[in-house]
Amino acid sequence: MMNTPQQVKNPSSSLKSRFITRFLGALTKITAEDPISSSSPTRIFQRYRRIKVASNKSMAYSVRSRRIWSRAMLSRFRSRRSAFSGRRSSVKTTNCTTSPPPALIKVTINEKKTAKGGLDMQTDELRELVPGGEAMDVCNLLDETAHYIKCLTTQVQVMRKIVDFYHLSK
Amino acid sequence: MSGRRSRSKQSSVSSITDDQITDLVSKLQHLIPELRRRRFDKVSTSKVLQETCNYIRSLHREVEDLSDRLSQLLASTDSDSDQAAIIRSLLMQ
């Protein structure tokens, strides 16, 4: 089992431990609500989706509203929850990303082409990948992207260790 | 460079300098494994942004892949809160 000793107390290690606590709690809940005997493909797929959402949610909640991207993500979760509350069965699965309609994007590209040497055009792709990226100015976008990447790598790191643990314990 | 400030429509672009952007872009460069090796080379902003997008997409895919593996692993284990505590202690080290 790989050990990465983190003796230094820094903010990112408490973010990591908050994420671990939340995510493990979610995993326990997901496993408890699902009878282990019935592992049909549908069940497994539902579980996969719940785990993925739990992972992203756990990270967003661990960051709380300190970041633009986490705030955007949290409001996405809340609006999705209220959208689902009215209808139960066979709802079309909505994607995580809510990007602006294509027409809007095209107009923005034309406007920004004339300015700032095309930097704005280059960031368009990034804006779609970072939650809340559409409304950020370039400085915020780059700063938020750096933080978002750090959080994603923490997510991946923790999830890998959990997978390894379950592999070893079989 | 003279036309840089001629956009009056954007509200929040008051004092963004080229230096600020360069700093932020180089900060990003250090986070991306592909570009970290080329730390002492000049990597263009456009390349950094492109690699950033690729890296974020690969991280998203990894989260999905790991979620997939977890969903199958959890299907075949008797998971209880004790295991969660064990994992937590392992991860916190």
- Here the ipTM equals 0.77
Domain boundaries, chain A: 13-84+101-169
- Determine, for residues B16 and A139 on separate chains, whether the beta-carbon distance falls below 8 Å: yes
Residue B21 and residue A142: Cβ atoms within 8 Å? Answer: yes
Domains plus CATH for chain B?
2-92 (4.10.280)
A48 and B71 within 8 Å at the Cβ level: the answer is yes
pLDDT tens string B36-50: 777 677 788 899 999
Closest-CA residue of B relative to A142 is B24
Nearest Cα residue in chain B from A166: B73
Distance from CA of A132 to the nearest CA of B (A): 15
Q: Are A144 and B51 in contact (CB under 8 A)?
A: no
Query: C-alpha angle with apex A42: B57 to A73, nearest 5 degrees?
Result: 35
pLDDT tens-place string over residues A42-90 = 888 888 999 999 999 999 999 999 999 999 999 999 888 777 665 554 4
Pairs of residues, one from chain A and one from chain B, whose beta carbons lie less than 8 Å apart = 156
Which burial class, exposed, middle or buried, applies to A167 when counting CB atoms under 10 A from its CB (0-12, 13-18, 19+)? exposed
| More confident of the two residues B3 and A147 | A147
**CA of B29: how far to CAs of A113, A131, B20, B52, in Å?**
24, 20, 14, 8
Nearest to B28 among A4, A145, A152 (CB): A145
The predicted structure's pLDDT at residue B63: 97
How far apart are alpha carbons A46 and A94 in whole angstroms? 14
* pTM of the complete model: 0.75
pLDDT at A10 over 50: yes
Q: How far apart are CA A79 and CA A93, in angstroms?
A: 14
Q: What is the pLDDT along chain B (93 residues), one digit of tens a residue?
A: 554 554 444 444 456 788 888 889 989 999 998 887 776 777 888 999 999 999 999 999 999 999 999 988 876 655 566 677 777 777 776
Cβ <8 Å between B10 and A137: yes
Which residue blocks in A4-118 are alpha helix, DSSP H?
11-32, 41-63, 68-86, 102-113
